[in-house]
Amino acid sequence: MAETQSKIAQIALRIHKHTTELDDYLTTHNLPSPSFAVGAAPDLPLPPHLHAVRSLLLQDTSELHDLLIGPLRYLTQLADQHNILISLQLIHKYDIASKIHLDEEVTYEEVAQRCNVNVHDLRRMLRLAIAFHIFDEPKDGTIRHSAVSECLIRFPLANQWIGYFCEDVWPSTSHTLDAIARWPNSEEPSETAFRLSNESHVGLFQYLQADADRSRRFTEAMRFLQSAPEFDHGHLLRDLQWNTEEAIPSLLVDIGGADGSIGATILRNYPSLAKCIVQDLPDTIASAVIPGDVGQRLQFQAHDIFTLQPIIGADAYFLRSTLHDFADSYAVQILRNLIPALKPGARVIVNEICVPGPNVLPSEQAQLLRGYDLVMKQSFNSKERSKEEWVELFRVADERFQLKSITCSPGSLLSVIEVHWVSDTSA
């Protein structure tokens, strides 16, 4: 019987099965169903085994939607999605979410007056946002919060992510092909779509150094991104696979470790790890605070990754979401700057995206990772790397780097890529 069913019928049956499974769990545990109403949970409170079920549901509902609208309409709709970013840009720029109390219903005219925006422009942009569940229009002419717009108030870092994306990332996209044509094959961080969109002569990082407000927004946007479940520290702890005392290093150097939150997490979970030294630029670590529960085991050191590594003979050197900011030529420099410090058997542990090959991931996840890859191109002339590209990167840096493993927990976007430094094979 199953063999004679159409594809959409098969998908619908799977959706029913998995929806029932999730709904039964929520009902049994007296948990609220998903909702866009104010006060709804920002995420479904699911145990780990049901996260996989939700992923399957998202994959199936997305595929069913795409099949039902048909190839032609699907294609043309792809070109229409930019307009919601205009609405989001308006909402962020005028801080509209904070101008509406969570418990009030207010007219468009009143919101326009509070934000000092033309009411006709505001109404048409917010009505597009409402069509995407951002705010709600309970009756013609009045607006109130939805669970989505409420997130902009409850999670200030999310608001900064929206601002960064609308003000820095999105404007760069339309200059991507211009940058490729102007600087073909370039790996320079200053020859990017971001530079063209800002009519600048420097790359994103240099540009932010001269703009305190945008620099703060970028930093807080990255904090929001790293707080997402896909970047949870628990994934890292599992994927390190330090299951024996022999596997746990005595000295760990966290290169580009910013505020030391990752280092502190690792120290808390591995009491036998004697010390973690967090390295970053002086301005970054200037305000860092050492948590009392890790004491002197956590230390900070000013260091530029484009200079030689000053900590000689550590057991492991750790880089999280660092090398993807740089094209291969620069990433190779960073790795080569470690070499004089490495003792035989030292580990270089990279915690980054490792992009699977085609047709491996569900379309939703593939869209996310491929989108990140393009953002890296537009912003830095860099990229997210596949397994083959990681292997080649280390080989070019030095053939004495030998890949040991690549591990990625279910639900994680970041892999743990462990590379060992071996003795000179020619000796």
Distances, alpha carbon 272 to alpha carbons 174, 248, 297, in Å = 51, 7, 10
Residue 44, pLDDT score: 86
Q: Look at residues 76, 104, 139 and tell me which one is the last residue of a structural domain.
A: 76
**Residue after which a domain boundary falls, among 76, 95, 116:** 76
Same domain, 201 and 134: no
Q: Is residue 365 part of a domain?
A: no
Residue 105 covered by a domain: yes
Instruction: Decide: 87 and 59 in contact? Cβ < 8 Å.
Output: no
Can you give the residue range of the structural domain that contains 206? 157-225
Give the active site residue among 235, 303, 324, 420: 324
Residues 350 and 289 in one domain: yes
Give the model confidence (pLDDT) of 243-298 as tens digits. Answer: 999 999 999 999 999 989 999 999 999 999 999 999 999 988 888 889 989 989 99
Return all residues near 1 (Cβ < 8 A) that are at least 6 apart: none
Assigned domain for 300 exists:
yes
Query: 26 in a domain, yes or no?
Result: yes
91 and 204 housed in the same domain: no
pLDDT of residue 226: 86
The answer to whether position 426 is within a domain reads no
Domain boundary among 56, 76, 96: 76
Distances in whole angstroms, Cα of residue 366 to Cα of each of 221, 372, 377, 386, 390: 22, 10, 17, 13, 19
**367 lies in a domain?**
no
Q: Look at the chain and report how many structural domains it folds into.
A: 4
The span from the CA of 349 to the CA of 363, in Å, is: 29
CB neighbours of residue 5 within 10 Å: 12
**What's the pLDDT score for residue 49?**
83
* Contact present, 189 and 381 (Cβ < 8 Å): yes
Q: Are residues 330 and 300 in the same domain?
A: yes
* C-alpha to C-alpha distances, 61 to 19, 34, 157, nearest whole angstrom: 11, 15, 29
Residue 99 lies in a domain: yes
324 is catalytic: yes
Task: Give the model's pLDDT for residue 424.
Answer: 67
| Token representation of residue 11 | 């998908």
CA–centroid distance for 383 within its chain:
13
According to the model, what pLDDT value does residue 46 have? 86
What pLDDT is recorded for position 309?
98
Q: Are 261 and 286 part of one and the same domain?
A: yes
Task: Indicate if 190 and 275 belong to the same structural domain.
Answer: no
Q: Which residues of the chain have pLDDT under 70?
A: 1-3, 424-427
**Same-domain check for residues 268 and 347:** yes
SS (H, E, C) 165-208: HHHHHHHHHCCHHHHHHHCCCCCCCCCCHHHHHCCCCCCHHHHH
Residue 43: its H or E element: none
Q: Where are the alpha helices (DSSP H) in 198-302?
A: 204-209, 212-226, 233-240, 261-269, 282-285
- Residue 311, in any domain of the structure: yes
| Amino acid (1-letter code) at residue 254 | D
CA end-to-end distance (rounded Å), the chain: 67
- Model pLDDT, residue 81: 85
How many Å apart are CA 141 and CA 126, to the nearest integer?
11
User: Up-side HSE of residue 34: CA atoms within 13 Å toward CB?
Assistant: 10
At 278 the pLDDT is 97
| CA atoms of 172 and 160, how far apart (whole Å) | 17
